[in-house]
Amino acid sequence: NEILDDIEKNRADFGFVACGASERKNISGIYLKEEEMVLIAPINGAPHGGEISTKEISSFKLVLFDKCSPSRKYIEKALKDKKVKINVTMEMDNIEAIKATVISGAGVSIVPSSCVRPEEPDYKYKVYRFSDMKITRPIYMVYNKKRKMSSSASAFLNKMLERKRIGLEAKVNAF
């Protein structure tokens, strides 16, 4: 909501949000890509291997995004569709706090793969992909369609729209 507020009030030209553009009338979104979600667990006591089934999640304490977070809703829906019961023990609104909580051994979490960096100095958790499904969330670039943009912001927006158009044409031509 803060990102959308900043764009709506002209404090920012663009923002990047997960799980949906906005239903606000002055904000438009450009779909960019799907981002894979992965499970992270503390190194001590973590299961072996690099994959985990969604059914195994029911045996863990989960640290997830706040209930109102669109990413949380996506995760819950994906697991509910697979009939996975979840045991949420903590909710947080910050990815770094979630990772620190997992490292401390308080549970496991499902986070965007882009937020998992092995080169981090505090990389003290294991990363698992799901063996029986892929949980993803859509990423959008959002902007105020009523705002008069600077020439550089306008050029950036046009470049993004062009990339989007070319991407769509490539998909159509692939058939």
Please give the angle made by the CA atoms of 41, 61 and 130, to the nearest 5 degrees.
50
Going by the DSSP 8-state scheme, the letter that residue 3 receives in this structure is H
83: left (phi over 0), alpha (psi -120 to 50) or beta: left
- pTM of full prediction above 0.85: no
Using only the alpha carbons of the chain, give its radius of gyration: 19
pLDDT in tens, the chain (175 residues): 788 889 989 999 998 888 766 677 888 888 888 899 999 999 876 667 788 998 899 999 999 999 988 889 889 999 999 999 999 999 998 999 999 999 999 999 999 998 887 666 666 888 999 999 999 988 888 889 888 888 998 898 888 888 777 665 444 333 3
Q: Residue 66: name the closest of 58, 75, 57 by CA.
A: 75
